[in-house]
């Protein structure tokens, strides 16, 4: 694999590079993919094999489903199979925040129950 080619354009708070093309603000890695490979079909996303969100090198990108992208990201976090509380990182137990952060769904449910009980004065 070649070295990363990092876009020097606007970097968002979640680490992705964005560029303006034809008056539209788009993610640089998606633009790079479509420039080389054509349109990205609905339901698929572009994954950074190198895990560098600013990278636009064509051989560092691959088209996958969102679920494959989530699971690939989890495998890259120290190859962990469970969260810090011991809940398994399986398809049914993964939440993805708007900023792309992956979290344990069970931990979020437990936290929400505690917050509700605290607010309800229980």
pLDDT by residue (tens digit) across 27-45?
999 999 999 999 999 999 9
Collapsing DSSP to helix, strand or coil, 82 comes out as strand
Output the furthest CA–CA distance in the chain (Å, rounded).
58
Q: In the prediction, which pLDDT does 76 show?
A: 59
> What are the structural domains of the chain?
1-66 (3.90.75.20), 80-122 (no CATH)
Q: Which helix (H) or strand (E) holds 74?
A: helix 66-75
pLDDT by residue (tens digit) across 2-31?
899 998 888 888 789 999 999 999 999 999
Q: In the prediction, which pLDDT does 75 show?
A: 62
Judge whether 58 and 33 are in contact, CB under 8 Å.
yes
pTM attached to this predicted model: 0.60
Contacts of 74 (CB under 8 A, 6+ apart): 80, 89, 94, 102
């Amino acid at each position: 694999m070649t070295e990363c080619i990092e876009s020097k354009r606007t970097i968002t708070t979640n680490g992705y590079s964005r560029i303006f093309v034809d008056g539209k603000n788009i993610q640089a890695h998606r633009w790079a993919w479509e420039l080389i490979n054509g349109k990205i079909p609905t339901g698929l996303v572009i994954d950074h094999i190198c895990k560098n969100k600013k990278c636009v090198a064509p051989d560092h990108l691959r088209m996958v489903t969102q679920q494959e992208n989530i699971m690939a990201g989890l495998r890259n976090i120290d190859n962990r199979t469970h969260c810090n509380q011991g809940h398994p990182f399986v398809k049914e137990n993964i939440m993805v925040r708007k900023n792309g952060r992956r979290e344990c769904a069970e931990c979020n449910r437990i936290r929400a129950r505690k917050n509700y009980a605290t607010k309800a004065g229980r």
